[in-house]
Every structure is written in structure tokens, then in C-alpha cells.
Structure 1
Amino acid sequence: MRILLATPDYPPPPGGIQTVTTNLETGLEELGHDVEVFELNPSDRSWADIRIPKFQLVHDLFSRDNLFFRSEFKKSISKIKEFKPDLIHCLHIKNLPVLAAAKRLNIPTVTSIHALELENKSLAQKAYEYTSLVHSVSDFTITLSKLPSTQGVYKAPPSIDVSSYGNGNNTTSGDSLSLISIARMVDRKNLETVVRSVQSVYKQGLDCTLTIIGDGPNRSTIEKIASDLPYVDVLGWVSEEQKRKRLSESDAFVLTPRKIGYDVEGFGIVYIEAQASGTPVIGSNNGGIPEAVGDGGILVDDPLSQQELNSAIHQISNDNTREKYAKNAEARVSEFDIATVANLHVKNYHNII
């Protein structure tokens, strides 16, 4: 097949959509398909200021109220005519102009849904109208989506290159418990609670360290909290190689995000990356996180409860407990491998071509 992947985000910047896009591109190419990526990035425009048109026909995109859509629609038409795809997979509903162009040219489409973007109900509903088949990253996201009853949908998780994650010496005893967290430093990721909890269990006598990888608007706050804690190390973003090394060398991964309306983890690919490294995890029991964690770690019901997180850290400090979760993770991570997930997509692509 000739498959056009349309995305609002593509490397080098890091991020979840970038990871989903590049890994799907790699997997499809490894299966022998002809793939091209079309990045249509609306980041320099305010989607809140764009009126979603109440049009019934595609040509209504050309009204004066919708100059952005007209411009991106034309770019999409040109790209589709140039590449001549058998199918277009839009990795985000922000790529609505691509979906409209595909409808005009009678090309079947798949649209991926995640979580936060679905708060824009008008945009989501219009994307569904132009989509042949919806792809969801989790069962949770399907429940969040408000899909029409007639809309076809399938689930396929984000993928990783499982073989590239080394299984470190995570369950040895006798050393300090090394914890790691990787996230954008924003309110929802709840890293402040993680730092406070590590501080608490350390004071209780648990010999432990915490490394935080990431960046964002809350970084100064987190660094301030950690400034007097020599066992907490706050890093910025590191290279992919360094991230994998740190994961494989850590005893446990800890990240307990909050759910703030639609601002919630639709899945949580970083939990799979940790498990592929042989590192058991602690996550939150909300959104799509339980589907990502499976039986490879511990879930806390209240991510703001320092007491509950303290208990989870104490549990994961036990060598036998970590070994159990590491074995559980090893048995499940293959289902998230690039080739496995790409095959799942292709199977569903064939349903609409």
C-alpha cells in the first residue's frame, strides 16, 4: 500500500505524537509499504480562535471565515495528488484539512484519537464525519471520544522498538533504591507529589534516590523543592540513548499523573518504555494508564495522596516484588513492539480499502 501519514508533530522535537508517528512510519516501511509523512503543523495558530465551520459540503471550507482551512486544504490536495496514496492516516484531529481534502479526492482515511484534543468537541465531530475509520490508542480514549454509534473504530496502542531497551540489573539487593521519572513538567504530570513522597520515605529511613528527566513550565518549582534534597536529581531532556540507559539502570519508574477533565493520559507510552527496560512501574489508576501498566507495576487510586504513593514506593522497594513485576512486564512488552502494532494497523487498513 501507499500510505500517507499526516501529523501536526514530527521530530526532532520530542513528544508523544512524534513517537507514535515515527514508530508507525518505521513499522509500515518494515512491512514493505510505501510511506510518506506529511507534517501540517498548526502550532503557530490558536485553535481556540479558529471557528469550526458548520458546513455540510467540503466546498464550504472556502468561505472567508475559514482562511486557515482553505490554505491547508489546498496544501493537502497538492500533497495527495503528488503522492497518490491508497490510504491516509491522520495522527491527530488537528489535521482536519487533510481529512477534508481526502474526502474531496475520495481517499479512505484513518484518524487517531488520544485524549486532550477531544475536549474540542466541534473539531472532533467534524473529523469523525470525514474519517472512514477511527484509531484509538486505548479503550479509555474510546469512552472519552463521544464517537457516533455508526463510526467504525479500532484500538492499537503506541509502539516502541522493544529490542532497543536493555534489560538492566534492576532487582539486585544491597544498594539504594533508584527511582526515575520522565515527563513534561506540567501540573497534570504531578511531579511535585512524587518529589514530596520520595522526601517522605527517605525521612522514614528508606535509602532511595530519584532522577527526574524532562522540562516544562513547572521545572523551577520542582527544582526549588528538590534544592535541599541531595538524593533528588532534576535533569532536562536527555538523548534517547541516555534515557534508555537511565531506565535500564533504575530499580523502578514512578509517574502518577492527575486527571483534569480531558487533560489526562490517553495511554502512557513511557510506562511501556520502562517495562521494556526491565523496570517495574508505579502509575495512576486513571485514564489509559492502567492499560499501559497492566500487571507490570502498581497503580495508586489517588495520585495526590502522598500517603498512598509512599506505600507504593515501600512496596516496590522489596526485591521480590520488583522481580515479580519485571517478569510480568517481560511477558507483555512484545505486544507493543513496532512490528506487532504496525501489523494491527494494516489489518484494519484493509477493512476500508
Structure 2
Amino acid sequence: MKIAITKSTLRIPPTYFATAHAQKLGSRHDFRIFTLAADIEDPSVSVPITDFVPRIGLGFRQRELMIPAFMPLMTLAVRRFRPDVIHQHFGTWSLPAVNASRQAPAPLLTTLHGSDVVSLANPADTMMAKWHHRNVLAAAAQSRRLLAVSRYLAGRAVDLGLDAAKIQVHYQGVDTDYFVPGDGTEAAEAPIVLFVGALNTQKGIRDLIDASLAVWRRAHHRLVVIGDGPLREAVREQASSHPHIEFLGRLDREQIRRWLQQAYLLVAPSQEAGGAREAAGLVLLEAQACGTPVLAYRSGGIPEMVDDGVSGLLAAEADYPGLQAALSELLQLSGAEYHTMRRAARQYVERHRSLAGSCAELEQHYVDTAAG
């Protein structure tokens, strides 16, 4: 089967989810990725990728500003590929795929990731908001099937008027052959509490830092923060003021995996901000695949990524005292209790959220979509 994967822009790292399934299924189907602007820095990505905005010495952000002018070229290229299925990631910026599906013709399948559904929920009171509404609604109308990355997101999409008969949940899954437990040779003097993600209000980094400061004296640990974003300088300032906090900034995938393997615990206190919640949370699965328990708020699709009380703990959304209490509890587990949770974390991902399982489901979606 020939499958065209389409997305507005593609940067790797960090957007591995857009290529992971194609690489895993590459021996069974002919995949090609079409994107308006690409920046692939990881040589392990082997799926053929075609982009359209010229590079000519421009930075990626400058190229992004030019993508509307090149959308017709992308539509034409997808048509010429003659795919059996077009798989669009995100309902936003989907018109190249929608038009290719209409003109080829080829059946369209769209994965909703969260920001697209949030865009549809927001009022269409600006030109950009109207554009996003137009794209999401066009993708929803043209697609034979809409895949939501969590039950939470599927429910929100239905509440906004998208066709419930088309919507199915498809968990993305993580590669349990790549994200594996460490060998234990890099045991830290103090337990490492790890944060990996965007440094913004929604991801909850301030709540984690405050909780870490509150429990540190009775439950010693290192807080390691990986990521970048608008709160970067605030995090840097905290790290300079408190010796147990280490700010590493943006790291590549291999470095992140090593930290996930070394960490005692990953904390992801993501919460509602501006009407948006975490639709899924792949870093929670990556950590658990490495045998690292997790702590998070019960927000959006996050509860679908953790076996609460078994592979980690969940606190009520934005419940800072609850987050602090859970952090203290996890840091003071007995050795036996902690190792039981480590094993459960790995088993949860292997059994319920692996890339292999996700690929098997996605392949069936492709077959069903092609068959009509």
C-alpha cells in the first residue's frame, strides 16, 4: 500500500511521532512524507521526506512564514505520488492534504492531536482563527476516519460537533525497543526528579519547582529540568539560587533517554491554560518504558497514560498541595515498593501503549480507510 503522510511542518527532533509508525511499518508499505517545511537533524530518520519551501539560507521560522505560497505544490506532489491513503497529522493546515484527497482521488485519514481541536473551540474572530476553523472542518468533512490520540480528545471533538461516527481513539505509543530501562551503572547519589517539556504555564514547571523546594529538606533529591520556552529565565534563576535544581535546556533525543533511564521519577504537572489541556503526553510513556515511575496532574488525556497508583501517581488538576504530597510520598517509598512500581511502569507501556501495538492498530485503520 502507498501511504502519503502529510503535515504542515516537520522538525526532528522533537516531532518523532510523525515518522515513528512509518519507520516501523516501512517494510510492509511504501511511505512518503510530504511537509511544507522540514528540518531533520536526526540521521536515523529514514522515511523519504519531501518539503517545498526553499531553504536558500533562511531560518526555519522564516520558512514557516512562506508556507501558504507553497501549499498548491504540496497538493500536486501528493497527487503525483498516487497514494492509496493520505494520512494527515493535525486538522490545522490540512488543506494541501484535503485538496489532494479530493483531486487524486485518494481517501483521507486525519489524526487529531489536540491543538487542532483547541483551535476549533476558540472563536473565529481573527483571520488566523478563521483559517484554522476552515482547515479543521475541511479535514473533518473529507476524512473517512478521524483518529484522536486519547478518549479525552475524542470526547472534546464530538462536543464541538465533529462526526462521532468517524472518530476513533488511536494511542500513539512509544518504541519499547528504544526506550528501555538503564543498566543501573549510573546510580545517582540523590534521587533524580526529572522534568522534560516546554517551559510554559500549561506544562506546570512552576508547580514542580515549588513542590520540589517544599519537600527537599525531608526528602532529598535533585531536580533536573530539560526543555525550553517562555519561562526559561525564571527556571534558570531558580537553578542558580537552589543547588539541588539543575537546568539543562534543550537536549537531543538520546540525551533525554539517558536522563529518563537515570531518573528516579518523572513529573509532568500539565494543566489547563488558555482553554488547552494535554491531549496525551508521550513523555509519560517514554519514562515508564524506561522503568521510571511518573507523577502528573489528572488533566486532559494524561490519566489514559498512567496506571494510577501502580505505575505512578496522579494528583487532581492544579492541586498543588496534592502534587507536593504525592512527590513526598514517592520519594519516601521503600526500596521494595519503588522497584515494584518500576516494573509496573515498564509492563504498562509494553502491554498497553507500545509503538508495536499502535502500529498494528494504525495499519488496520489504513486498510479500512482504503477499502472505504
Could you tell me which of 338, 349, 353 is aligned with 2:355?
A: 338
For the 8 Å contact 1:185–1:214, the answer to whether it is kept is yes
Query: What is the distance in 2 between the residues matched to 1:147 and 1:178?
Result: 44
Tell me the amino acid that sits aligned with residue 312 of structure 2. Answer: G
Match of 1:22 in 2: 19
TM score, norm. by length of structure 2: 0.81
Query: What is the distance in 2 between the residues matched to 1:174 and 1:99?
Result: 51
Q: How many residues align?
A: 326
For the 8 Å contact 2:34–2:78, the answer to whether it is kept is no
Comparing 185-194 with 91-100, greater Cα deviation is found at 91-100
Cα distance, 1:190 vs structure 2: 1.0
Query: What is the distance in 2 between the residues matched to 1:106 and 1:82?
Result: 11
| Alignment deviations for residues 136-166 of structure 1 (CA, whole Å, 9 cap, x no partner) | 1110110111343464122211232211123
Distance 1:262 1:247, change over 3 A: same
Tell me the amino acid that sits aligned with residue 322 of structure 2. Answer: E
Cα distance, 1:201 vs structure 2: 0.4
Cα distance, 1:73 vs structure 2: 4.8
Query: What is the distance in 2 between the residues matched to 1:174 and 1:3?
Result: 45
Cα distance, 1:252 vs structure 2: 0.6
Match of 1:216 in 2: 229
Poorly superposed stretches of 4+, deviation over 4 Å? 41-47, 172-175
Q: Are 1:242 and 2:241 matched, yes or no?
A: no
Could you tell me which of 313, 327, 334 is aligned with 2:343?
A: 327
Tell me the amino acid that sits aligned with residue 227 of structure 2. Answer: G
| Alignment deviations for residues 36-88 of structure 1 (CA, whole Å, 9 cap, x no partner) | 000124976999xxxxxxxxxxxxxxxxxxx986x555223321232110000
Query: What is the distance in 1 between the residues matched to 2:100 and 2:302?
Result: 34
Cα distance, 1:175 vs structure 2: 4.7
Could you tell me which of 199, 216, 220 is aligned with 1:207?
A: 220
| Alignment deviations for residues 290-315 of structure 1 (CA, whole Å, 9 cap, x no partner) | 1112242101103351x211211122
CA RMSD, Structure 1 to Structure 2 (Å) = 2.5
For the 8 Å contact 1:115–1:262, the answer to whether it is kept is no
For the 8 Å contact 2:208–2:269, the answer to whether it is kept is yes
SS at match of 1:4: strand
**Structure 2: gaps of 5 or more residues:** 38-52, 54-60, 121-132
SS at match of 1:235: strand
For the 8 Å contact 1:253–1:279, the answer to whether it is kept is yes
Q: Choose between structure 1 and 2: higher strand proportion.
A: 2
Q: Choose between structure 1 and 2: higher helix proportion.
A: 1
- Identity percentage over the alignment? 22
Could you tell me which of 272, 294, 297 is aligned with 2:312?
A: 297
Match of 2:175 in 1: 161
For the 8 Å contact 1:283–1:299, the answer to whether it is kept is yes
Query: What is the distance in 2 between the residues matched to 1:174 and 1:13?
Result: 27
Match of 1:129 in 2: 141
TM score, norm. by length of structure 1: 0.85
Query: What is the distance in 2 between the residues matched to 1:207 and 1:142?
Result: 40
Cα distance, 1:7 vs structure 2: 1.2
Query: What is the distance in 2 between the residues matched to 1:266 and 1:108?
Result: 26
**Structure 1: gaps of 5 or more residues:** 48-66
Cα distance, 1:125 vs structure 2: 2.1
Mapping for residues 8-87 of structure 1, pairs under 5 Å: 8-14=8-14, 18-30=15-27, 32-41=28-37, 71-87=69-85
Cα distance, 1:210 vs structure 2: 0.6
Could you tell me which of 155, 173, 176 is aligned with 2:190?
A: 176
SS at match of 1:244: helix
SS at match of 2:17: helix
Could you tell me which of 198, 202, 212 is aligned with 2:212?
A: 198
Tell me the amino acid that sits aligned with residue 17 of structure 2. Answer: V
Distance 1:162 1:173, change over 3 A: closer
Comparing 277-286 with 33-42, greater Cα deviation is found at 33-42
Distance 1:76 1:208, change over 3 A: same
For the 8 Å contact 1:162–1:336, the answer to whether it is kept is no
SS at match of 1:238: coil
Comparing 152-161 with 243-252, greater Cα deviation is found at 152-161
Tell me the amino acid that sits aligned with residue 347 of structure 2. Answer: A
For the 8 Å contact 2:187–2:262, the answer to whether it is kept is no
Query: What is the distance in 2 between the residues matched to 1:180 and 1:174?
Result: 13
Tell me the amino acid that sits aligned with residue 153 of structure 2. Answer: T
Match of 2:43 in 1: none
